Amino acid sequence: MKKNHFIIAVLIFLSISLARDGWSGENRFQVVSTILPWGDFLNKLCDGRCAVKVLLPPGATPHTWSPRPEDIKDVSNARIFVYTSRHLEPWAVDFVDGFIKGPKKVLEIDEIQNTGTDPHIWLDFKFDQKVVEKMATLLSQVDPSGKQIYEKKAMLLKASLEELDSSYRKQLRDCRYKTIVVAGHNAFSRIGNAYGLKVLSVMGISPDAHITPRDLSRVIAFVKKEKVPAIFFDHAVTDRIAKVISTETGVEIKAISPGVSLRREDLNRGIDFFRLMFENLNALSSGLLCNQE
């Protein structure tokens, strides 16, 4: 990963976090999101004017997780509730359709634009900029006195996302290998489509799919035939499948994150969505032998 890109991003994030504008903690309103990316965007936009809670705990998957009573209470008390889609988070439908007293504003990310069948829409950094604009509008509606702050933070956050997209575009432009081999479910097609790469995974889009011997053999055969230098696995789940493939082929294994949630050790390191994405870029660039002289 190029250091100058990372430094620029860090400086932008620091500027987002500065100057709380005298807003006291007692005045903060509650905002709830289902997953890490939306919660991270909201937190940077709010800049201390609201309290943001992310429902999905470390290491969990939105496909199978169920809310606890305290989560239901938090959503009921929230002024804004943000979720991805009814397909990815079916349990969120209960919040929206009246299972509990709904929040004042609800944002379903999938309704901003027709995003297709792949639910991992936060990995489209261009689309994320539209999400940030919509979030800033909702925050301004709930807290009109903070409109200028939200608009300013939205500009900075969109600049961070643009820099992230630019870094991916530059570092993945010239790769010796053009296929991301994933020892798990395919959460990375949006990355592949955006930056001219293919994705070959042992499983489909859903992490709940079953792995068949035929699927595993197909990936092993591809790795051997193409002399793939590295394969990737979701760092929040087991690396068991990746190790099986590595044992059969001798290929190196590298961890990447779909970005949906953090591990507990990531929380201790103060990692956010952007840092995860830059770490992914570093792993992909290295594993695909990009920009090799």
At 16-56, the pLDDT tens digits run 443 333 333 557 899 999 999 999 999 999 999 999 999 99
CA angle, 293 then 194 then 123, to 5°: 110
Q: Do domains 29-169 and 174-288 have the same CATH topology?
A: yes
b/e map 41-77, b = 16+ CB within 10 Å: bbbbbbbbbbebbbbbeeeebbbebebeeebbebbbe
The structure's pTM equals: 0.87
Q: H or E segment at 215?
A: helix 213-226
Place domain 174-288 in its CATH homologous superfamily: Nitrogenase molybdenum iron protein domain (3.40.50.1980)
CA 56 to chain centre: 12
Q: Please state the φ and ψ torsions of residue 87, each to the nearest 5 degrees.
A: -75, -45
Candidates 3.40.50.1980, 3.20.20.60, 3.40.50.2020, 3.40.50.300; correct CATH number of 29-169?
3.40.50.1980
Q: Which residue has the higher pLDDT, 234 or 8?
A: 234
179: which 2 tokens?
């296929």
Would you list the domain boundaries of the chain? 29-169, 174-288
pLDDT digit string, tens, across residues 109-165: 998 876 677 889 999 999 999 999 999 999 999 999 999 999 999 999 999 999 999
